[in-house]
Chains A and B, each alone.
Chain A
Amino acid sequence: MAGLSDDPAAAGTSPRTTGTSKVVVDGVSKVYESERQRVEALSDVNFSVSEGEFVCLVGPSGCGKTTLFRTIAGLEAPTGGEIRLDGDPVTGPGTDRGMVFQEYGLFPWRTVRGNVAFGLEEQGVDEPERSRRVDEMLGLVGLEDFADAYPKELSGGMKQRVGIARALAVDPEILLADEPFGSVDAQTRDMLHGELLRIWAETGKTVLFVTHDVEEAVKLADRVVVMAADPGRVREVVAVDIDRPRGRTDPEFGEYVDRVRSLIGE
């Protein structure tokens, strides 16, 4: 539990969180070994995310944030340490973690409705409950009118809203997002930030959000976990103590951004 007690920013958690740890990243390391070389992608990474908290993971490319994301998702196994969700070690992928990917990962042969329903079908949720749940999710992300469209008919921003609706449909314990707005234009990204914060507030979900964009992290997060590269590790955890909505023009906002940037070494 070193990650919890030693965490310098633990006191700075958002007032809306209960303080119970939802996710604990406990001494996680990941080493890729081949015959010719040994790459240490993650080295003794420790931090935790409280119930209902919005945490951003930020760092330069090569700091292992995507590896960490995949490890929390259960798509890769750590070579050392463990990840616990509600106290239980993560051993593989599961619907207790709702995943949102940069490249959307929508099933192109399924309509918006079909994509959102996918996880519910796997959970054995039958009609009419499934439809009710899908409609609720489409309402949450504002895509009711596009329920029967195929992904190819949607813009990037809309695709990612489908991705969010699909991830939330199975009612996961935590929403995990890997640079989800990295492929959309700046204006759409701003809009999606607002939507994500609204969805977060409405659902009360715990969110872990990976990004390389410092401003995005400071804008969204209760706490920003700043990572460093070679080997990938946590440099510092910064609690962002500004009321939402946060604006870029706010001098305090700028100070946080500068501080995180200097930690990254930009």
Chain B
Amino acid sequence: MSLESGATAEAGTPEARTGDGEGVAAGSLSDLDTTGLAYGAVGSAVFLAIWQAAAMAVGRTYLLPSPVEVATAFVVELTAPTTFTVPFVEISIPATRLVANLLQSLLHYLPGLVVGSVLGISLGVAMGWSGRLDDALTPVTRFLRPIPPLAWIVFAIVWIGIGHGGAAFIVGIGAFWINFYNAYAGVEGVSTHLREVAETLGVDDDLTMIRKVILPAATPSIATGVRTSIGQCWMIVVAAELFGAPGVGFQIINAAQNLATDVSVAYMAVISLVFLVSDGAFRRVERRALAWRD
């Protein structure tokens, strides 16, 4: 009898805790709704007011476009019709200027991000798992990593040419290193204890160990790498487009060269918005998929 009551008493705690977890989430949301959002609104308004005042004081749009001018430029870019040519199939589809430029950027951002991440994670896991491979390649990775992705633009130009391919190459290098180190650290950090537990439960080959223990245990670290590279790769996109690849970053420079800095800032805002949306979406997925984390 005492066992039973003990078990129930004990069992009550985690249930309460689970409930609390949801409560906390809901609580912080409502806190954000009231005070947090209010402060945020005030802060944003003050920022915009100072910006607007400064722009009016300067009096020249090309030196400092005002928020109103930027918003106007944004709407113009968002609505001005143009066409976007889908590569490979060469079909033109109607789009607006902003959308067309964003699609151009995505054409090298996404392949670079995906390929670079997959390769980086693969090598990171392999080196984290195999001490031999780690010993063999560590001097190489240590030496190559400090080189900024953009420095490889020389090879992007002579090998591929500065278009989507070249820009994707640069983006891919950036994504590669971020994901490589996170995956490597994640795999290295898997406790020996969990591996031994798996061995005592019948896991007796490397592939099963990697699939059922190492990768799940390293997933939080790998996910952090992917999320970091989602953001970092936008910076690389803009830098790569400075060299002439079409897209949002190119528009920032192009517009500025025509002294249309309001358009430049509008495209800067586009990058920020795209980052916020993609980072937010990834965080949501991450929170769900990794609900087991402490």
A residues engaging B (CB < 8 A)?
73-75, 92-95, 97-99, 101, 103, 105, 107-111, 118-119, 121-123, 142, 145-146, 149-155, 157-158, 166, 170, 187-188, 191, 194-195, 198
In contact, A195 and B293 (Cβ under 8 angstroms): no
**Bound Cα distance from A53 to B33, whole angstroms:** 62
In contact, B193 and A105 (Cβ under 8 angstroms): yes
Q: Shortest distance in angstroms between B286's beta carbon and chain A's nearest beta carbon? A: 13
In contact, B201 and A150 (Cβ under 8 angstroms): no
In contact, A94 and B202 (Cβ under 8 angstroms): yes
**Bound Cα distance from A111 to B203, whole angstroms:** 19
State the total of A-B contacts with C-beta under 8 angstroms.
94
In contact, A101 and B193 (Cβ under 8 angstroms): yes
In contact, B13 and A155 (Cβ under 8 angstroms): yes
Q: Name the contact of A95 in the complex, choosing from B11, B13, B202 (C-beta under 8 A).
A: B202
Cβ contacts under 8 Å, B200 to chain A = 73-75, 93-95, 97-99
Cβ contacts under 8 Å, B11 to chain A = 145-146, 158
> What bracket does the count of chain B residues touching chain A fall in?
20 to 34
**Bound Cα distance from A188 to B5, whole angstroms:** 11
Q: Name the contact of A103 in the complex, choosing from B193, B213, B292 (C-beta under 8 A).
A: B193
Cβ contacts under 8 Å, B258 to chain A = none
In contact, A146 and B202 (Cβ under 8 angstroms): no
Contacts A101-B193, A107-B213; is A153 near B201 (CB within 8 Å)?
no
**Bound Cα distance from A111 to B290, whole angstroms:** 12
Contacts A107-B194, A122-B202, A152-B294; is A146 near B14 (CB within 8 Å)?
yes
In contact, A107 and B216 (Cβ under 8 angstroms): yes
Interface residues of B in 268-294 (CB under 8 A from A): 290-294
Q: Name the contact of B201 in the complex, choosing from A118, A149, A151, A158 (C-beta under 8 A).
A: A118
- A118: nearest chain-B partner, CB-CB: B201
In contact, B197 and A105 (Cβ under 8 angstroms): yes
Q: Shortest distance in angstroms between A81's beta carbon and chain B's nearest beta carbon? A: 21
B199 at interface, CB cutoff 8 A: yes
B208 at interface, CB cutoff 8 A: yes
Contacts A150-B291, A191-B3; is A157 near B10 (CB within 8 Å)?
yes
In contact, B202 and A152 (Cβ under 8 angstroms): no
In contact, B197 and A109 (Cβ under 8 angstroms): no
What sequence of 0s and 1s flags, for each residue 177-214 of chain B, a beta carbon within 8 Å of any chain A beta carbon? 00000000000000001101111111110001000110
In contact, A152 and B7 (Cβ under 8 angstroms): no
B residues engaging A (CB < 8 A)?
2-3, 6-7, 10-11, 13-14, 17-18, 193-194, 196-204, 208, 212-213, 216-217, 219, 290-294
**Bound Cα distance from A108 to B217, whole angstroms:** 8
Q: Shortest distance in angstroms between A83's beta carbon and chain B's nearest beta carbon? A: 14
**Bound Cα distance from A194 to B13, whole angstroms:** 21
- B197: nearest chain-A partner, CB-CB: A105
Cβ contacts under 8 Å, B194 to chain A = 105, 107
**Bound Cα distance from A101 to B201, whole angstroms:** 13
**Bound Cα distance from A150 to B290, whole angstroms:** 11
**Bound Cα distance from A151 to B194, whole angstroms:** 14
**Bound Cα distance from A158 to B6, whole angstroms:** 11
Cβ contacts under 8 Å, A194 to chain B = 2-3
In contact, A155 and B292 (Cβ under 8 angstroms): no
Most buried by A among B10, B199, B200, B208: B200
28 contacts between A and B (CB under 8 A): A75-B200, A92-B204, A93-B199, A93-B204, A94-B202, A95-B200, A103-B193, A105-B193, A105-B197, A107-B216, A108-B293, A108-B294, A110-B292, A118-B201, A118-B212, A122-B202, A123-B202, A142-B7, A149-B14, A150-B292, A152-B294, A153-B18, A155-B14, A157-B10, A187-B6, A188-B6, A188-B10, A191-B3
Q: Shortest distance in angstroms between B256's beta carbon and chain A's nearest beta carbon? A: 48
Q: Name the contact of A122 in the complex, choosing from B3, B14, B203, B216 (C-beta under 8 A).
A: B203
**Bound Cα distance from A121 to B292, whole angstroms:** 20
Give 13 new A-B contacts, CB below 8 A, not counting A107-B213, A153-B18, A194-B3. Answer: A74-B200, A95-B201, A97-B200, A108-B293, A111-B292, A118-B212, A119-B201, A146-B11, A149-B14, A155-B14, A157-B10, A166-B201, A194-B2
Cβ contacts under 8 Å, A151 to chain B = 292
In contact, A99 and B7 (Cβ under 8 angstroms): no
**Bound Cα distance from A74 to B203, whole angstroms:** 13
Cβ contacts under 8 Å, B290 to chain A = 109
Cβ contacts under 8 Å, A74 to chain B = 200
